[in-house]
């Protein structure tokens, strides 16, 4: 996997980030502001407002593999911290206060910490996919220019995060395009739907007053997870095809000199 490509991506992505217009007039009735503040506060905590690093008990096993990989992970989490900052400014705009904890956040952190770094990466990826569905619905239904601009920035970042995960999984073993990969896809769907449901139990009722509904949110979730898997399988095949034409003699030489880390990120 080409980590340098991702370092360049994250560094480029710091440019051209117009700050949302936090002082724009607010045209949201008070009865809708209360649920909006609740959802923004919970998201501010979960989307970069908590520990902004890998917290799995064996995270060092992954990060010690390569300084470049450590740098990519650091840049990724910096963008998550930026999401927490943006959501904090949105809370300020509507007169809300950040929260320090929540049951879903505590469960999220426990799963990340105790089930190992590979599972933590999957949990974070699934959170990004279902959060993308949430931000799309938030952007569509909350008629506020600053919220709209904030969602555009976050969605742009999350698109890059999801692409990064696709790239690392396309280099993983076993390939998601293999027969064993089919089992991986089933568990990925199940975990994804569980993550989507936990998110919506908390946040759906906050967006119902704006006109958002279950069908639209879960439609977005299906598109995100299904699209991710379809593109991952295509990318895995492309990676495999790039590897397979190597002549046996060259492959043997590469095997003895290769510095590439085992693709198990």
Binding mask 212-251 for Fe ion (x = CB under 5 A): ----------------------------------------
Tell the smallest beta-carbon distance from residue 237 to Fe ion (Å): 26
Residue whose token pair is 């008070």? 30
Q: Within positions 31 to 60, which residues make up the interface with Fe ion, using CB under 5 A?
A: 47
Question: Smaller CB distance to Fe ion: residue 86 or 142?
Answer: 86
- Which x/- pattern, by CB under 5 A, does the window 119-158 give for Fe ion? ---------x-----------------------------x
CA-closest candidate to residue 132, choices 196, 187, 42, 176: 196
**80 forms part of the interface with Fe ion (CB under 5 A):** yes
Burial letters for 251-263: b for 16+ Cβ neighbours within 10 Å, e otherwise? eeeeeeeeeeeee
Nearer to Fe ion, 11 or 253 (CB): 11
Return the number of the residue (69 or 177) whose C-beta is nearest Fe ion. Answer: 69
Minimum CB separation from Fe ion for residue 128, in Å? Answer: 4
Q: Which stretch binds Fe ion (CB under 5 A): 59-67, 160-168, 183-191, 204-212?
A: 160-168
Pick between residue 178 and residue 202 the one whose CB is nearest to Fe ion: 202
Q: Interface residues with Fe ion (CB under 5 A)?
A: 47, 80, 83, 128, 158, 161
């Amino acid at each position: 996997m080409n980590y340098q490509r991702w370092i360049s991506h994250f560094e480029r992505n710091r440019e051209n980030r117009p700050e949302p217009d936090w002082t724009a007039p607010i045209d949201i009735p008070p009865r809708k502001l209360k649920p909006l503040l609740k959802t923004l506060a919970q998201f501010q905590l979960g989307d970069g407002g908590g520990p902004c690093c890998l917290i799995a008990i064996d995270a060092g096993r992954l990060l010690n593999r390569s300084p470049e990989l450590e740098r990519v992970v650091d840049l990724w989490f910096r963008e998550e911290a930026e999401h927490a900052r943006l959501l904090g400014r949105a809370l300020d705009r509507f007169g809300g206060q950040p929260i320090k904890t929540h049951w879903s956040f505590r469960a999220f952190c426990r799963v990340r910490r105790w089930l190992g770094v590979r599972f933590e990466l999957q949990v974070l990826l699934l959170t990004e996919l279902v959060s993308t569905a949430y931000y799309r619905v938030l952007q569509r239904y909350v008629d506020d220019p600053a919220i709209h601009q904030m969602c555009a920035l976050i969605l742009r970042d999350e698109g890059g995060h999801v692409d990064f995960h696709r790239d690392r999984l396309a280099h993983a073993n076993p390939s998601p395009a293999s027969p064993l990969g089919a089992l991986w896809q089933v568990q990925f769907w199940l975990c994804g739907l569980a993550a989507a449901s936990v998110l919506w139990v908390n946040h759906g009722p906050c967006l119902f007053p704006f006109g958002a509904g279950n069908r639209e949110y879960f439609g977005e979730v299906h598109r995100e997870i299904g699209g991710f898997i379809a593109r991952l399988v295509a990318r895995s095949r492309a990676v495999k095809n790039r590897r397979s034409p190597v002549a046996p003699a060259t492959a043997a030489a590469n095997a003895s000199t290769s510095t590439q880390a085992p693709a198990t990120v």
